[in-house]
Amino acid sequence: MRLAVVLSMSVSGLAVGLAIGSNEKMGLASIGDVSMHPRHASRDEQARGSSPNVVIFVTDDQPKGMIDAMPLLRSKIIEKGVTLGRGIIPTSLCCPSRAALLTGNYSHTTGVYLNNKGTYGGWPAMKRNEDVTIATELNHVGYRTALVGKYMSHFSAAPRGYIPPGWDEFHYFVKPESGAYYDYRIAGTSRTQRYGSKPRAYSTDVIAGYAKRFIKSTPARRPLFLYFAPTGPHAPMTAAPRDEGTWPLEPASALPGLNEAKVADKPAWIRRPKVSPRWQRRLFTDQHEVVMSVDDAIGDIVKVLGRRARNTLFVFLSDNGYMLGVHRLEGKDLPHRHSTEVPMFMRFDGHIAPNSKSGRVTTNSDLTATIADAVGVSWPMDGRSVLSSRRSGTVLEQKQNHRHPAYCGFRTGRYLYVEYDQGSGREFYDYSVDPYELHNGVHRHANRHVVHELRHRAKAACSPKPPGFHWN
pLDDT number for residue 370: 98
CB proximity list for 244: less than 8 A, separation 6 or greater? 289
250 pLDDT band, cuts 50/70/90, is very high
What are the C-alpha distances in Å from 302 to residues 212, 288, 307?
A: 9, 21, 9
Does the pLDDT value for residue 47 go beyond 60? no
Q: How far apart are CA 144 and CA 177, in angstroms?
A: 28
pLDDT, tens digit (0-9, with 9 covering 90-100), for 128-152: 999 999 999 999 999 999 999 999 9
Q: How many helices (H) and strands (E) does the chain have?
A: 11, 18
pLDDT, tens digit (0-9, with 9 covering 90-100), for 382-396: 999 999 888 999 999
402 pLDDT band, cuts 50/70/90, is confident
**C-alpha dihedral (208, 212, 215, 220), degrees to nearest 10:** 150
Helix (H) or strand (E) holding 188: strand 184-188
CB proximity list for 217: less than 8 A, separation 6 or greater? none
**All domains of the chain, ordered by start, with CATH?**
52-391 (3.40.720.10), 392-472 (3.30.1120.10)
CB 419 within 8 A of CB 426: yes
Does the pLDDT value for residue 200 go beyond 50? yes
Residue by residue, DSSP assigns 17-39 as EEEE--EEETTEEE-------PP
Paired with 419 in beta bridges are 408, 426
One-letter identity of residue 435 = P
pLDDT number for residue 422: 86
Three-state SS at 345: strand
| Whole-structure pTM value | 0.90
pLDDT number for residue 27: 34
> Any alpha helices (H) in 273-411, and if so which ranges?
277-305, 337-340, 364-375
